[in-house]
Amino acid sequence: KVDSDRLWETIHSTAKWTDVSRSPSRADDIRTAGLSRLTLSNEDKQVRDWFVQTTESLGCKTFVDQIGNIFAIRPGLSNDDVPATFVGSHLDSQPSGGRFDGVLGVAAGVEMLRVLNDNWIETEGPVGVVNWTNEESAKYPISMMGSGVWADRISLQDAWDARSVHPGSPVTTAKQELEQIGYLGSVPASYKDGIRLGAHFEIHLEQGPKLEIARQAIGVVEGVQAYKWFTVTITGRESHAGTTDFSNRADALYSAATFITMVRDVAKSLGGLATIGMLTVSPSSVNTVPGEVKLSLDIRHPSDEVLDKMVRTIQSESQTLASAATNTAQGRHHLTKITIGMKEDFSSNAVKFSPEAIRCVEQSAAHLLGDETKIRRMTSGAGHDSVCTNMHCPTAMIFIPCKDGVSHNPNEWCEKVDCATGANVLLHSVLRMDKL
Amino acid sequence: KVDSDRLWETIHSTAKWTDVSRSPSRADDIRTAGLSRLTLSNEDKQVRDWFVQTTESLGCKTFVDQIGNIFAIRPGLSNDDVPATFVGSHLDSQPSGGRFDGVLGVAAGVEMLRVLNDNWIETEGPVGVVNWTNEESAKYPISMMGSGVWADRISLQDAWDARSVHPGSPVTTAKQELEQIGYLGSVPASYKDGIRLGAHFEIHLEQGPKLEIARQAIGVVEGVQAYKWFTVTITGRESHAGTTDFSNRADALYSAATFITMVRDVAKSLGGLATIGMLTVSPSSVNTVPGEVKLSLDIRHPSDEVLDKMVRTIQSESQTLASAATNTAQGRHHLTKITIGMKEDFSSNAVKFSPEAIRCVEQSAAHLLGDETKIRRMTSGAGHDSVCTNMHCPTAMIFIPCKDGVSHNPNEWCEKVDCATGANVLLHSVLRMDKL
Ligand SMILES: NC(=O)NCCC(=O)O
Ligand SMILES: NC(=O)NCCC(=O)O
């Protein structure tokens, strides 16, 4: 059994490596302080150093790969050629994120190592804990970047070249920052030539309200919905706010507003989700009609086919919007022309986790909880590093409830007892898989 | 008569003091190169130095006041106690502005000095040229800031403390930058205790399409419509883009989109204008539902009363929007609450210029053009420094046509012949006023 207090302490003590400048007023109450630890920041370096020191002190060997993923491996009884059964998640956060998203998974992995050591347990094969780089993609907008490179679904070069987008900070590439914080490793970032994974288990807060509403303790995650990210560029024409009649305007921001309401309508009609999380206006002057807007579009659906349909519908509705916004009256066309372009940045198909790994989770949960009604099979709305590991090794996930279903918010909260229950299921899932 | 080539040369040669990083690709064609010279920037310092050197070499004394307005005064025949008849405008530009907005007015003033000198003309009272600080308000969003401080409608302290808003540049105050570029003068910035104005004439491009469409050469500006600026803050709740159903969201950007379309509807229904030129999203992450949006709102109407009605309508419609966006279903209220707050930053009542000064312009135009059909009485859609000077001295403006009615855009364009015609009307208006 995990030590509930110790796990809780790990989660909250590592939260001191946070950028306090982002939420200073709330920093004294752990229920609302949240966490601001953008990937590859100084705070991320500090928590990485902690991770390496802690896992090494617990008897692991650590390996840093070329994209900064850190693998800590505890030897098993068999020879070293057997790939380890891993627990993994991420220590980076959203700009104003919560204390559990990602951190719970890594902390539960460290807790697993401690329980194994305390109880002199030797596993058949090695077991490990992995901290994946830039899962959040808040700074470098490539989702699940570190695990994606490892899984060979993102090229190392594309990830190295990713440019930071966080407003108010200078633009850097991921490679520059890996070097800067000393985590540009030499191990190939590859499931083939680098660290091999025998299996991957991840515990995470649900980030949605289902478990809480149903008063259930454990979600056995069967898979992850599909999602795609786009950069949308809307161009109009800069003009004077006081002298340009509406009939002479090509207002890129006004068209962006109609685009934003349109995508929500499309998503609703197809039963999916759509979010515009980033938007910048140019030239950004109070008395100038905007000439260009760039925005991010995140769309999701459990079905790949419906997601594709969502893309096609949004694309064609965009063209309708742009034409409707352009005033074609005599001589006005070039003054009022609106264009809308969409560039796909990222795509993740719907994922089904490994039946074998799911079984390990489900049996452990049933065994530990002794009450099937507390357990729910479910699909994840969010992407996780497990999406990438699932391409190359048996993978499954464990969800625990979170308050109000809230995540990506400093108010994100999980109860201590739920963290411990989930961490126990994780520990036992790893041990079951190790036996297999 | 002004020297058309020399005036044209002044306009375009001073455009070399531009921030080329903003529009490098277009820099070789003067018709599309535009001008990027934010107030108090290094480029602004250079053009100010040019202004001081040039007017001094033409026999003026120059004075810099506490907000950086530069007054160049050419003595008249009478004693020095008579306040000068001024030509004024501004040398700052929008981030991607045109070469004529403001610059034409100052260049025509310099050309006036040259014509007076070349022809050994001595005026009764002194005449002058003034370059007002931060007319554009693109960097420090206080409209007509320098002339507003001089007119005592903005306090010196508020103007000094104004914080820069241009994205990608560090935040500075206006006072810091005045010091930095060496234009924090010691003359009181005050119509009472500082440089007094006997009259103020300003030539400007129309920034709208009326003169061009009517093929008229000169607009005699009777006044300026009313306008107000607000900062609007919309708050919702940050949450995860992949796991938060629409019914659980408080999406500040989605509400901003409905706000943007609402204000246009209100403006249209009341015959006014409304523009959102700036908008920032927080926390600005591709997979986080935005928790806060801040945007600028610029609204205009020829009538003060209708403008006030526009404000009240937008305020009440905002509250309706916010309530409609908040899902009050059981337990959802705190998760979906949207608020919309509006803070007024700036207000300029509708202005009627001095009949006496208007008469000087109209008579000069009639005399020089010899064709009344080429002259149009009109109201300005944009604010100008003349709005402020009109509070304390006889003031009028001259408009000339601009291509497609476009301004606040690098494609802003005036024909050479129109600049010269307008500058001649300006010169003669000053001489007429001097006689009065
Ligand atoms: N779990 C999580 O927040 N993942 C980020 C990737 C996503 O946007 O779903
Ligand atoms: N002329 C001009 O562009 N003035 C700026 C003030 C305004 O927004 O009207």
Task: Annotate A358-403 with DSSP letters as a single string.
Answer: HHHHHHHHHHHH--GGGEEEEEESS--HHHHHTTTS-EEEEEE--G
**What is the rounded CA–CA span in Å between residue A366 and residue A358?**
12
**What is the rounded CA–CA span in Å between residue A262 and residue B254?**
10
The mean per-residue pLDDT over the stretch B405-418 comes to 95
**What is the rounded CA–CA span in Å between residue B224 and residue B210?**
15
Strand pairing class (A279-282; A375-380): unpaired
Counting ligands in written order, the one closest to the CA of A275 is: 1
State whether residue B291 is helix, strand or coil: coil
**Other beta carbons within 10 Å of A237:** 24
Give the model's confidence band at B90: pLDDT under 50 very low, under 70 low, under 90 confident, else very high: very high
Q: What are the C-alpha distances in Å from B271 to residues B70, B96, B262? A: 38, 28, 14
Choose the closest CB to B277 out of A268, A287, A382. A287
How far is C-alpha B347 from the chain's CA centre?
13
- The pLDDT assigned to A23 comes to 59
**Would you call B135 an interface residue with chain A, using a CB distance cutoff of 8 Å?**
no
B285/A238 touch (CB, cutoff 8 Å), yes or no: no
- The pLDDT assigned to B23 comes to 59
**What is the rounded CA–CA span in Å between residue B260 and residue A276?**
15
Q: What are the C-alpha distances in Å from B187 to residues B106, B182, B207? A: 21, 14, 33
Asked whether A263 and A269 are in contact (CB, 8 A), the reply is no
Q: Which two tokens stand for residue B362?
A: 């109209």
Per residue in B123-135, pLDDT (tens digit) is 999 999 999 999 9
* A226 in contact with ligand 1, CB cutoff 6 A: no
- Which class for B370: exposed (0-12), middle (13-18), buried (19 or more C-beta within 10 A)? exposed
A229/B286 touch (CB, cutoff 8 Å), yes or no: yes
Choose the closest CB to B242 out of A227, A268, A280. A227
Q: What are the C-alpha distances in Å from A29 to residues A5, A93, A334, B326? A: 18, 18, 56, 27
- The pLDDT assigned to A30 comes to 87
By C-alpha distance, the chain A residue nearest B332 is: A404
**Would you call A281 an interface residue with chain B, using a CB distance cutoff of 8 Å?**
yes
* A242 in contact with ligand 2, CB cutoff 6 A: yes
A206/B280 touch (CB, cutoff 8 Å), yes or no: no
- The pLDDT assigned to A378 comes to 96
**What is the rounded CA–CA span in Å between residue B382 and residue B372?**
25
- The pLDDT assigned to A27 comes to 62
By C-alpha distance, the chain B residue nearest A238 is: B409
Asked whether A256 and A279 are in contact (CB, 8 A), the reply is yes
How far is C-alpha B181 from the chain's CA centre?
21
Strand pairing class (A127-131; A197-205): unpaired
How far is C-alpha A41 from the chain's CA centre?
17
Q: What are the C-alpha distances in Å from A351 to residues A250, A312, A379, A390, A410? A: 42, 21, 9, 8, 29
DSSP A111-158: HHHHHHHHTT---SS-EEEEE-S-SS-SSS--TTHHHHHHTTSS-HHH
B260/A257 touch (CB, cutoff 8 Å), yes or no: yes
pLDDT at B22 over 90: no
Choose the closest CB to A277 out of B137, B227, B241. B241
- The pLDDT assigned to A28 comes to 74
Per residue in B239-297, pLDDT (tens digit) is 999 999 999 999 999 999 999 999 999 999 999 999 999 999 999 999 999 999 999 99
Q: Which two tokens stand for residue B388?
A: 């402020």
- The mean pLDDT value of chain B amounts to 95
Q: What are the C-alpha distances in Å from A202 to residues A389, A390, B106? A: 10, 11, 67
Q: Which atom of ligand 2 is nearest to the CA of B102?
A: 1
Choose the closest CB to A276 out of B229, B253, B261. B253
**Other beta carbons within 10 Å of A302:** 16
**Would you call A14 an interface residue with chain B, using a CB distance cutoff of 8 Å?**
no
What parts of chain A have a pLDDT lower than 70? 23-27, 80
Which residue from A348, A230, A226, A225 is spatially nearest to A297, judged by alpha carbons? Answer: A230
Q: Looking at chain A from residue 201 to 220, which residues have their Cβ under 8 Å from any Cβ of chain B?
A: 206-209
- The pLDDT assigned to B29 comes to 86
B254/A261 touch (CB, cutoff 8 Å), yes or no: yes
Long-range contacts: B19-27, Cβ < 8 Å, 24+? B19/B43, B22/B95, B22/B96, B23/B96, B23/B410, B26/B410
How far is C-alpha B281 from the chain's CA centre?
26
State the greatest distance between any 2 C-alpha atoms of chain A, in Å, as a whole number.
Answer: 84
How far is C-alpha A254 from the chain's CA centre?
31
**What is the rounded CA–CA span in Å between residue B256 and residue B254?**
5
Q: Looking at chain A from residue 287 to 306, which residues have their Cβ under 8 Å from any Cβ of chain B?
A: 287-291, 296, 298, 300
- The pLDDT assigned to B27 comes to 62
Q: What are the C-alpha distances in Å from B130 to residues A45, A174, A395, A428, B242? A: 55, 50, 73, 80, 57
Do you know the residue count of chain B?
436
Q: Which of A403-422 are b and which e, b meaning 16 or more Cβ less than 10 Å from the residue's Cβ?
A: bbbbbbbbbbbbeeebbbbb
Per residue in B48-84, pLDDT (tens digit) is 999 999 999 999 999 999 999 999 999 999 876 899 9
* A211 in contact with ligand 1, CB cutoff 6 A: no
- The pLDDT assigned to B93 comes to 96
